[in-house]
Structure 1
Amino acid sequence: MARYEDLPYRTCVGMMLINAAGLVFIGRRAGGIEHVDETHVWQMPQGGVDPGEDTWEAAKRELYEETSVRSVEKLGEVPDWLIYDIPRTVAGRAWKGRYRGQRQKWYAVRFTGKDAEINVASPGGGGHKAEFVSWRWEPMKNLPTLIVPFKRPVYERVVKEFSSLAGG
């Protein structure tokens, strides 16, 4: 097995889904070895980029696969790749031990549909495993306090980048 320091980062995308009131979608994770308590189990939709896939297309795909949402307008993106390391204590068990963390491209989108479009129990038309057990709209400024601590700097940066988009 490779040393932790030598492991690559998994290429991923993240989506900040903002409703008309300026609140952000967060989902309560269905599980995950990295979750250490009941407070830090919330996150925005995110997921891996397939080989050769455009990051914007990957972001729309991941959003649909996790929430069933397709009614969106692109508002912006973080110009940089944001990186986080997973704790060494879970590195060997997460992603089959192949990665030390993620490098993420983040997008902000305006949700233009109705809340009934959101389906986390049977996402993507029922063709995808549920990653969230529940969801809610949350003020953007609260997001960093709801995520697992090792992802907090990424969420702080995403909130800083997109804070002008809340509009509500």
Structure 2
Amino acid sequence: MIDKEGYRENVGIVICNDQRKVLWARRTGEEAWQFPQGGINNGESAEEAMYRELKEEVGLDPHNVEILARTKGWLKYDVPKSWIRRDCRDRYRGQKQIWFLLRFTGKDSDVFLKNTEKPEFDDWKWAGFWAPIDQIIDFKKAVYEQALKELFEYLPSA
């Protein structure tokens, strides 16, 4: 769903383990790494979208995680115009996201990246909590930083 300002509603998912590391996933066929994320469908709550994306992108079920926190409001980023299809440029600007912090309660072997015909990711790893800020593509950097700063206070002790 795209709002009147041109932002698509989306969820971002930060999954942390007991060592305070976060699940970091590589986009299929690229050297680009990011957190799982995805759009919110019509009639779907942010939490429902988060669980759907969690299953689609990294194969985790609700019993594999515990919700620790979510951002208080929408965090927005603009997508560079050169990345937007020409037929969408007049109505699409970027994403507005609700971010969730989840505690991983499963085993590493529970992570499964091939749940759809076109998997979003082809590899994953555990990374330091703040490492994604230095590694994410520039136009998402401010949102990642804002989300991690807001969620940090809910990160469990190691």
Query: Are 1:102 and 2:118 counterparts?
Result: no
1:29-40 alignment, distance < 5 Å: 29-31=27-29, 38=31
Residues 1:167 and 2:157 are matched in the alignment? yes
- The aligned runs of 1:75-94 (5 Å cut-off) are 75-92=68-85
- Normalising to structure 2: TM-score of the pair? 0.88
Instruction: Indicate the RMSD between aligned Cα atoms, in angstroms.
Output: 1.9
Secondary structure of 1:24 counterpart? strand
Q: Tell me what 1:118 maps to.
A: 111
Structure 2 residue 140 is the aligned partner of structure 1 residue 147: no
Supply the distance in 1 between the matched residues of 2:151 and 2:101 (Cα, whole angstroms): 7
Ranges of 4+ aligned residues in structure 1 off by more than 4 Å: 95-98
* Identical positions, percent: 40
- Local SS of the residue matching 1:83: strand
Q: Quick check: 1:136 aligned with 2:125?
A: yes
Query: By how many angstroms is 1:166 displaced?
Result: 5.0
Are 1:59 and 2:50 matched, yes or no?
Answer: yes
Distance 1:135 1:73 in 2: 20
- Please list the CA deviations of residues 66-98 of structure 1 after superposition, one character each: whole Å capped at 9, or x if unmatched: 0001111000000010000001221236x9555
User: Which of 5, 19, 37 is 2:17 aligned to?
Assistant: 19
Gaps of 5+ in 2: none
> Quick check: 1:23–1:166 contact (8 Å CA) kept in 2?
no
User: Deviations along 1:139-166, whole A, 9 cap, x unmatched?
Assistant: 1111111111000000001110122305
Partner of 2:38: 47
Counterparts of 1:132 and 1:18, CA distance in 2: 18
In the alignment, the residues of structure 1 paired with residue 92 and residue 27 of structure 2 have an alpha-carbon distance, to the nearest angstrom, of 20
Among 44, 52, 66, the alignment partner of 1:73 is 66
Q: Paired residues, what number?
A: 151
Over 3 Å counting, the alpha-carbon distance change for 1:116 and 1:159 in structure 2 is same
Q: Runs of 5+ in structure 1 lacking a partner? A: 1-5, 33-37
